[in-house]
């Protein structure tokens, strides 16, 4: 772990920064920093179920999305530093509360610490599935480190278009990097498997959120995923884009998604043969779906 943090190349930015002394693009240092650890009920139904997903939100992020709903923690770094042992305890507490899984949100920059914490937690009785919930600016090498640790991958595939990835997320080569990371995830988990209650136990669900004025780009994403993986993954097609104050500098991002616009993407997915998919109902674009972040309660 020391080597990985002293020359950090966990995300696709390959900063090489010594995190014991400084921080790179993401802003993360040596210790894990989290902003929330609680049962979460707003994930896909097969993840949240009735009991909720045991969700741990990590502070900082390797992306720079101007529309990020969690900008307080991703960009501003709101959160509390904890030890790997304390992170393991959080996982065990969530399991004791009835969580269907442990859901690691924006974890890329803490992979070595997470692996250590998972080993500790599993030695002490952690036995529910582990979800890796990422924006997918991960190197394939980082994902390979997680082989055997993660049961369910929940990656985004945000953009097909390079210019959009740079403009809205400051993420050069995003599609190439994210698609390689997702390919490694699918290799590790195989086709999704569910328990008798419909709760996912293993597999990959790729999320794609439709952005204003990017319907054509979204169609290319859906086409790529279905052509490449068919029914061996699920696709979660999201309409929850919510304009934020940080997106006000981009006129095209100042309004939520129109229902007809979203339905056009769903119709396209159906037309090309997609059946393993989750869609969102009207009302998903609402700030009430953004969880409260209060590090003092951690």
Two tokens, residue 12: 């696709």
Question: The domain that contains 216 carries what CATH number?
Answer: 3.20.20.70
| Model pLDDT for residues 121-166, shown as the tens digit of each residue | 999 999 999 999 999 999 999 999 999 999 999 999 999 999 999 9
CA distance 101 to 283: 26
Q: What is the mean pLDDT of residues 267-280?
A: 97
CA distance 49 to 86: 26
User: Phi/psi at 115 (nearest 5 deg)?
Assistant: -60, -45
Q: Please count the structural domains in the chain.
A: 1
Q: How many CA atoms lie within 13 A of 261 on its CB side?
A: 18
DSSP state of 210: -
pLDDT at 288: 46
- Given a contact cutoff of 8 angstroms between Cβ atoms, the answer to whether 120 and 1 are in contact is no
| Model pLDDT for residues 8-49, shown as the tens digit of each residue | 999 999 999 999 999 999 999 999 999 999 999 999 999 999
Structural domain for 270, as ranges: 2-297
CA distance 78 to 110: 16
Name the more confident of 254 and 77. 254
Residues 6+ positions from 21 with CB-CB distance below 8 Å: none
Mean pLDDT of the chain: 94
DSSP state of 142: H
Residue 291, pLDDT above cutoff 80: no
């Amino acid at each position: 772990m020391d080597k990985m943090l002293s020359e950090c190349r966990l995300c696709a930015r390959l900063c090489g920064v010594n995190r014991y002394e400084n921080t790179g693009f993401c802003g993360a240092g040596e210790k894990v920093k989290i902003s929330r650890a609680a049962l979460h009920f707003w994930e896909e139904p097969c993840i949240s179920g009735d009991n909720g997903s045991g969700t741990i939100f990590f502070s900082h992020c390797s992306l720079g999305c101007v529309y990020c709903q969690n900008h307080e923690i991703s960009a501003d770094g709101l959160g509390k530093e904890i030890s790997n042992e304390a992170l393991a305890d959080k996982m065990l507490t969530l399991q004791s509360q009835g969580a269907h899984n442990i859901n690691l949100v924006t974890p890329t920059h803490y992979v070595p610490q997470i692996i250590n914490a998972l080993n500790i937690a599993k030695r002490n009785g952690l036995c529910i599935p582990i979800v890796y919930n990422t924006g997918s600016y991960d190197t394939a090498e980082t994902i390979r480190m997680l082989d055997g640790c993660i049961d369910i991958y929940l990656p985004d595939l945000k953009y097909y278009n390079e210019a959009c990835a740079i403009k809205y997320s400051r993420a050069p080569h995003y599609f190439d990097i994210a698609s390689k990371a997702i390919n490694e995830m699918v290799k590790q988990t195989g086709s999704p498997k569910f328990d008798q209650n419909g709760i996912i136990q293993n597999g990959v669900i790729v999320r794609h959120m439709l952005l204003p004025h990017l319907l054509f780009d979204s169609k290319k994403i859906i086409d790529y995923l279905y052509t490449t993986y068919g029914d061996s993954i699920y696709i979660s097609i999201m309409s929850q884009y919510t304009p934020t104050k940080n997106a006000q500098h981009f006129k095209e991002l100042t309004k939520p998604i129109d229902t007809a616009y979203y339905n056009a993407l769903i119709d396209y997915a159906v037309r090309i043969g997609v059946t393993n998919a989750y869609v969102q109902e009207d009302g998903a674009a609402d700030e009430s779906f953004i969880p409260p972040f209060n590090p003092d309660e951690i």
